[in-house]
């Protein structure tokens, strides 16, 4: 249990130390006018308080990534928590901070435009396609996962309230639902999932079309309260279970079934190749949100357009990522503690995806009513990321085709085809969608980190804080594409060599093709 709180403490310490270092390297200008004030349009560019922006940023970036990913990552053992902590402080939060601050400095520009400015037009064309694919996948994935959880809640609550069994007899309810013995207004679970999918899509359409303060700015505080209840509630449940006098939970029993505790030898065993799921590179794609996520680069400019001062950047962008890291640690601990063995966790995931782990563990730790509220706290994360994913896709397409977005009818020109395509893609198998999502996600993170490194290098600043994470995730993505079945399916050792070789080529291109400016900041360049 102390290991969990130690990791949380390191994340918080990272915010106050490394976050401050990153801020000094960027060099903020509190007197510089931000796009929220200079480009205010009443739709996307609008000043908001930094606390509200931070909350919206957290809900935008979180999704099911920092929940589903760490649950899947728990199959690798406690080493997954190391990646969450180190990745979050030195890669993910740095990625988010520079994306947000560069967007503020460049009129609320999207990540593809930033990439084009600091890395060149070919990179801009590539990341425009990659980011749009990612946003579409995110929107679709973040429809499917909350629809499944909401359908499960609906069926269970209906089973209890319809008198099919006594209220609170959770196991009996779940058995009846699984056997198809419970219907809601004549609908089985599959139909209920479809209904919730349509409802969520309907909300996404409204959130995509209406000004940012009309829906997103008003209901997110309520969603934030649910998120807080979920996070605090699950920590309470985990601590209570660990301290239980009758049936205490060993937080690392998934790797220590013999009851001997966590030893260094057992910890290092987590690094060994495990059949066709080697820790390198799969762990670093399995756990993306909560450690390093390119999806954040598509969302962060939305909030960069609402920030009122550059001094707010560390709290909004770096801070929201650190908070997401804490959420990821909570659910990684659930994966490590709730099941008696890695195989039991694997079986639960196979039976109902990570959403089954979320649902079962929430009800176990917090009871039927508390568990339902905790699950609702999980549900709001994908919903509050899916809505802004489609919104970001609309804005990016508008930017590409030069379609202004003040008029509702012009927003519809983009939104209608976008949602039709999203609905079609949503019919694909969830596990396949998730694999493509994870790769596209980290590819986008890779480009954003190279973009930030290019900015720092061109302005003669300390670029290594972005360059080294960029090299790392480039090797991860290249190795994954070479090795995984959704890529080329090559031999594992050969794939590792290919990943390293591609990274070396990227490093050479970076230092030979990019030319540093003879100044250290944008204002100096503009007046030189």
Q: What are phi and psi of 3, to 5 degrees?
A: -60, -40
| Residue of 388, 427, 203, 378 lying closest to 306 (CA atoms) | 388
Task: Give the pLDDT of residue 54.
Answer: 92
Q: Which range has the worst mean pLDDT, 62-66, 325-329, 337-341, 463-467?
A: 62-66
Q: What are phi and psi of 296, to 5 degrees?
A: -60, -30
On the question of pLDDT at 215 being above 70, the answer is no
Task: Give the pLDDT of residue 356.
Answer: 80
Higher local confidence (pLDDT), 412 or 10: 10
Q: DSSP state, 17?
A: T
pLDDT class for 414, splitting at 50, 70, 90? confident
Task: Give the pLDDT of residue 265.
Answer: 56
Q: Where are the domains of the chain?
A: 1-428
Choose the most confident range, by mean pLDDT, from 237-246, 435-444, 460-469.
460-469
Task: Give the pLDDT of residue 273.
Answer: 53
Percent of the chain with pLDDT over 70: 84
- Write out the two tokens for 85: 């902590």
CA-angle at 109, arms to 390 and 527, nearest 5°: 175
Place of tokens 């649910």: 226
Place of tokens 């782990």: 357
d(CA 94, CA 117) in angstroms, rounded, equals 19
Task: Give the pLDDT of residue 319.
Answer: 97
d(CA 159, CA 61) in angstroms, rounded, equals 34
Task: Give the pLDDT of residue 168.
Answer: 47
pLDDT class for 450, splitting at 50, 70, 90? very high
Higher local confidence (pLDDT), 276 or 371: 371
Rounded (to 5) percent helix, strand, coil in the chain: 75, 0, 25
Task: Give the pLDDT of residue 138.
Answer: 77
Place of tokens 């007899």: 169
Residues 6+ apart with CB under 8 A from 131: 110, 111, 112, 297, 298, 396, 444
pLDDT in tens, 424-435: 777 777 677 777
Task: Give the pLDDT of residue 15.
Answer: 98
On the question of pLDDT at 233 being above 70, the answer is yes
* Residue 521 zone, left/alpha/beta (φ > 0; ψ -120 to 50; rest): beta
pLDDT class for 171, splitting at 50, 70, 90? low
Quick count: other Cβ atoms within 10 Å of Cβ 321?
35
Percent of the chain with pLDDT over 90: 34
pLDDT in tens, 350-395: 876 787 888 888 888 888 788 887 888 777 777 777 777 787 788 7
Q: Which residues pair with 187 in a beta bridge?
A: 184
On the question of pLDDT at 147 being above 80, the answer is yes
Task: Give the pLDDT of residue 22.
Answer: 98
pLDDT in tens, 506-525: 999 999 999 998 876 666 55
pLDDT in tens, 28-64: 999 999 999 999 887 778 899 999 899 888 887 876 7
On the question of pLDDT at 257 being above 50, the answer is no
Contact 214, 44 (CB under 8 A): no
On the question of pLDDT at 285 being above 70, the answer is yes
Mean confidence (pLDDT) of the chain:
82
Task: Give the pLDDT of residue 133.
Answer: 84
Task: Give the pLDDT of residue 176.
Answer: 56
Residue 522 DSSP SS3 = helix
| Residue of 288, 287, 286 lying closest to 297 (CA atoms) | 288
Tell me the mean pLDDT in the region 329-345: 85
Task: Give the pLDDT of residue 135.
Answer: 81
Q: Which range has the worst mean pLDDT, 109-118, 148-157, 314-323, 356-365?
A: 148-157
Contact 458, 464 (CB under 8 A): no
* Residue 259 zone, left/alpha/beta (φ > 0; ψ -120 to 50; rest): left
On the question of pLDDT at 254 being above 70, the answer is no
Choose the most confident range, by mean pLDDT, from 15-24, 384-393, 397-406.
15-24
- Write out the two tokens for 273: 């190749």
pLDDT in tens, 451-497: 999 999 999 999 999 999 999 999 999 999 999 887 888 998 999 99
Residue 202 DSSP SS3 = helix
Task: Give the pLDDT of residue 474.
Answer: 97
User: What CATH code is assigned to 1-428?
Assistant: 1.20.1740
pLDDT class for 167, splitting at 50, 70, 90? very low
Tell me the mean pLDDT in the region 190-205: 84
d(CA 337, CA 247) in angstroms, rounded, equals 12
How far from 191 is each of 194, 196, 197, 348, 502, CA to CA, in Å? 5, 9, 10, 23, 47
Residues 6+ apart with CB under 8 A from 298: 110, 111, 131, 134, 135, 138, 389, 392, 393, 396, 444
On the question of pLDDT at 170 being above 90, the answer is no
On the question of pLDDT at 212 being above 70, the answer is no
Kindly state the greatest CA–CA separation across the chain: 77
């Amino acid at each position: 249990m102390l290991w969990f709180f130690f990791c949380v403490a390191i994340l918080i310490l990272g915010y106050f130390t490394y976050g401050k270092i990153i801020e000094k390297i960027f060099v903020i200008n509190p007197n510089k006018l931000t796009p929220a004030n200079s480009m205010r349009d009443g739709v996307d560019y609008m000043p908001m308080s930094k606390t509200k922006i931070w909350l919206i940023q957290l809900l935008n970036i979180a999704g099911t990534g920092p929940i589903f990913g760490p649950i899947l990552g728990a199959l690798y053992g406690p080493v997954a928590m190391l990646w969450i902590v180190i990745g979050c402080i030195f890669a993910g939060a740095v990625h988010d901070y520079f994306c947000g601050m560069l967007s503020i400095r460049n009129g609320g520009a999207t990540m593809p435009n930033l990439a084009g400015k600091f890395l060149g037009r070919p990179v801009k064309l590539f990341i425009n396609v990659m980011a749009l694919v990612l946003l579409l996948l995110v929107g679709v994935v973040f429809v499917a996962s909350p629809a499944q959880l909401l359908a499960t809640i609906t069926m269970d609550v209906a089973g209890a309230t319809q008198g099919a069994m006594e209220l609170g007899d959770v196991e009996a309810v779940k058995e009846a639902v699984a056997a198809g013995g419970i219907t809601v207004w004549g609908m089985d679970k599959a139909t209920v999932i479809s209904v919730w999918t349509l409802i969520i899509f309907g909300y996404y359409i409204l959130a995509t079309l209406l000004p940012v303060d009309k829906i997103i700015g008003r209901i997110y505080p309520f969603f934030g309260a649910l998120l807080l209840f979920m996070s605090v509630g699950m920590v309470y449940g985990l601590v209570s279970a660990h301290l239980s006098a009758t049936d205490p939970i060993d937080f690392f029993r998934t790797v220590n079934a013999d009851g001997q505790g966590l030893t260094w030898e057992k910890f290092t065993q987590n690094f060994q190749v495990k059949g066709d799921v080697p820790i390198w590179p799969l762990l670093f794609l399995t756990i993306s949100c909560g450690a390093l996520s390119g999806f954040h680069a598509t969302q962060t400019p939305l909030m960069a357009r609402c920030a009122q001062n550059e001094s707010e950047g560390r709290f909004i962008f770096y801070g929201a990522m650190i908070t997401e890291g804490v959420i990821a640690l909570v659910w990684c601990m659930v994966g490590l503690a709730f099941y008696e063995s890695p195989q039991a966790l694997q079986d639960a995931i196979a039976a109902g995806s990570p959403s089954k782990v979320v649902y079962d563990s929430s009800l176990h730790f917090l009871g039927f009513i508390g568990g339902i509220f905790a699950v609702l706290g999980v549900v709001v994360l994908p919903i509050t990321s899916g809505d802004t994913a489609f919104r970001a896709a609309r804005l990016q397409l508008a930017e590409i085709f030069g379609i202004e977005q003040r008029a509702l009818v012009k927003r519809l020109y983009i939104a209608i085809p976008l949602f039709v395509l999203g609905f079609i893609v949503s019919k694909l198998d969830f596990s396949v969608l998730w694999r493509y999502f994870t790769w596209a996600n980290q590819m986008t993170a890779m480009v954003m980190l190279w973009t930030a490194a290019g900015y720092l290098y061109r302005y003669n600043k300390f670029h290594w804080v972005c360059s080294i994470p960029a090299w790392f995730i480039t090797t991860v993505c290249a190795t994954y594409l070479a090795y995984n079945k959704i890529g080329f399916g090559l031999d594992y050792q050969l794939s590792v060599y290919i990943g390293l070789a591609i990274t070396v080529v990227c490093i050479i291109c970076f230092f030979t093709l990019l030319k540093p400016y003879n100044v250290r900041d944008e204002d100096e360049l503009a007046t030189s």
